[in-house]
Amino acid sequence: MAGAFRERNRRDLDGFATETVTKRASQSTSSVLDMENPSSDVEIYAKEVLNSLIVNNLPPTPNNFSLYFDRLLEDKTESLRKQILAMLELENSNDEENSVILEKSLKKGFISIKAILVSTANLYKNMSLMTKILEKRKAELTEHMDVKEAVKIIRMLEGDVAKLSAILKTQSTQMKAIYDETAAIVKNVENETIFDDKYGVHNKRYLFAKIAQEIGLVKESDHKSSLIMIELSRELKQSVKNEKVIILMTRTLARLLLKTSRRSDVVAHYGNGQFVMLLKHTDIESAKKASERLCFLVSNSNFFLEDTEIQLKISIGVTNVTSHHSVEEIIVSAMDGIEKAYELKDMDYAVSFRS
C-alpha cells in the first residue's frame, strides 16, 4: 500500500500573528531612531525591528529581537526578504538541526551494535552445532576398529573446537557487556532528545520545556502568546479505518505544519497523532486567523492512496498562554478547544480561553 501527497492552490501562513506587531510601531519608526542616513536597506530594517521592541515595551534581548526580526520581515518586499533570508542562510549554524542529526546517528549506532550482538550470537550457535556434528561423526567412526587414528585426530579437533568455543563464549560475554553499557548510554541520550523521528517534528519533552519557558517570558514582559493543538478530523479517521493510511496522512499533516510555520514557532508531536504549535507573541485573534488559514491549506491539500483521492480535514483547539497557568493546564485548555470544535460541528476550530 502506497500513498502520495499533492498540494493544490497552496496558501502559506505568512500572516501568522503579524497582527501582533502594531501599525503604530511602523508609523513611528523614524521618530524613535535616526533614519535620515541609512547605509543600506538591511540597516533600515534592523532599526525598524529595534524600534518595534521599544514601542511594544520589550527588552531588546537577542530572543525578542529574533522574534520581531521574523515578524516584521513578513510585511517587507519580496526582494528585501530574499536578501535577508540569503544572509541568514549563510550565517545560520542551526544548533537544533545539528542535534537532530546527532540523535539520528546515535540511533543508527544503536542498531549497528544490536546487529553485532545478533551476529555474534549466531556464530556461537553455529559453533555449537559444529560440536554436535563432530560428536555424531566420532560415534560413527568408533564403530570401525581400523579408524582409531582417525578418532584420535577427531578428538584433537574436538579439543580445538572446544577451545574456540570457549573463546567465542568469552568474547560474546564481553560483547554483551559492551552492548548493555552502550544501550544504557543511548537510552539516557534518548531521554534527552528533542526530536520525534516518526513525524519529523519536535517531541513532547521539548514542547513542554518551550511552553514553560514561554510562560516565564509572558510573566516577565506581559506579552500575548497562544497555543493551538491540531489533529486529523475524527470523522476522517473513522471513514478511512486503515491504521497505516492514517499514519501516512498524519505524516503529511506534520510536513504541512513544518512547511507553513515560522522559525519562531514551535511545532511538536504531543502524542497519538496530535500536534501542537506554540505561537509566540501572538494573541488569540491572530491565532484564530492562523487556524483558519491552516484549515484552508489542509483542506486544499489532498492525499492520494493508489487511485483514491482523500481530502484532508483537521480540527484545532486554540488557547492562550498565561503566566498563572501550568503547562499541563494550558495543554488541557487546547484539548478543550478541540472538543468544542467537534461540538460546534460547523467549525474546524474553537477557542478555549484561560482567564
Based on the fold, state whether residues 211 and 344 are members of the same structural domain. yes
Q: What angle do CA 91, 93, 94 make, to 5 degrees?
A: 125
Nine-digit cell string for 337: 478547544
| Last residue within a domain, chosen from 133, 158, 191 | 191
d(CA 276, CA 189): 23
| Last residue within a domain, chosen from 69, 91, 113 | 91
Please give the pLDDT value at position 111.
Answer: 78
Based on the fold, state whether residues 161 and 216 are members of the same structural domain. no
Based on the fold, state whether residues 245 and 341 are members of the same structural domain. yes
Spatial CB neighbours of 249, under 8 Å, sequence gap ≥ 6? 3, 232, 236, 240, 303, 310, 312
Based on the fold, state whether residues 130 and 77 are members of the same structural domain. no
Based on the fold, state whether residues 87 and 102 are members of the same structural domain. no
Q: Which of 266, 254, 262, 228 is nearest to 312 (CA)?
A: 254
| Last residue within a domain, chosen from 91, 109, 142 | 91
**329, 294 Cβ separation under 8 angstroms:** no
Based on the fold, state whether residues 249 and 216 are members of the same structural domain. yes
Domain span at 338? 3-13+199-351
Based on the fold, state whether residues 156 and 268 are members of the same structural domain. no
d(CA 253, CA 337): 19
Based on the fold, state whether residues 245 and 264 are members of the same structural domain. yes
Per-residue confidence in pLDDT tens, the chain, 355 aa: 444 444 433 334 444 444 444 333 444 444 444 444 545 787 888 889 999 899 988 888 888 888 888 888 888 888 888 888 776 665 554 556 667 777 777 777 777 778 777 777 877 787 787 788 778 777 777 766 566 777 777 777 788 778 877 877 877 777 787 778 777 777 777 777 888 989 999 999 999 999 999 999 898 888 899 999 999 999 999 988 889 999 999 999 999 999 888 888 999 999 999 999 999 999 999 999 999 999 999 998 877 777 778 889 999 999 999 999 999 999 999 999 999 999 998 889 999 998 8
Based on the fold, state whether residues 236 and 305 are members of the same structural domain. yes
Count of domains for the chain: 3
Please give the pLDDT value at position 92.
Answer: 55
Based on the fold, state whether residues 9 and 30 are members of the same structural domain. no
Looking at the chain, how many residues does it have?
355
Please give the pLDDT value at position 33.
Answer: 44
Give me the CATH number covering residue 235.
3.30.70.270
Please give the pLDDT value at position 194.
Answer: 86
Based on the fold, state whether residues 233 and 139 are members of the same structural domain. no
- Could you tell me the pTM of the whole model? 0.63
Based on the fold, state whether residues 203 and 218 are members of the same structural domain. yes
